[in-house]
Structure 1
């Protein structure tokens, strides 16, 4: 092995090591997010089976105040 080969090998190992140090936190974060999502999904499924109703099935009908405000807004737009 001559000096050029050794320097090239050292530089490649250094660059790969720096790449690993830069990518590792992102990979750890992705793994943590996936674990948290899985835990939340399992908790929702367990709660949905026990209660028999999920929170997303609630009615989303607007209140009386919203209907009143929409009516008044439309009248102002027509008269102007």
Structure 2
């Protein structure tokens, strides 16, 4: 029984110590998937409606 508890203690300790590293690895994989998906997504061309000059209220807000 002592041997079993020793192995169980080591196993639990290893899981607790490696959990943050595993969580970081999973997070990095998710970010990599999102970046690859963003690279494949086409970039829409700007239209003439989306480009406009500065208006008076834009300048008043900046000051």
**Taking structure 2 as the reference length, what is the TM-score of the superposition?**
0.63
Higher relative contact order (CA 8 A, sep 6+): 1
Unaligned runs of 5+ in 2: 46-63
**Structure 1 SS opposite 2:18:** helix
Q: Show structure 1 runs of 4+ deviating over 6 A.
A: none
Where structure 1 has 5 or more consecutive residues not aligned to the other structure, the ranges are 1-5, 53-80
Q: How many angstroms apart in 2 are the aligned matches of 1:16 and 1:35?
A: 27
TM-score between both structures, scaled by the size of structure 1: 0.51
Q: CA RMSD in A?
A: 1.6
| Alignment length (residue pairs) | 45
2:15 equivalent to 1:20: yes
Deviation of 1:13 (Å): 0.2
Larger Rg: 1
- Structure 2 counterpart of 1:30, from 25, 36, 39: 25
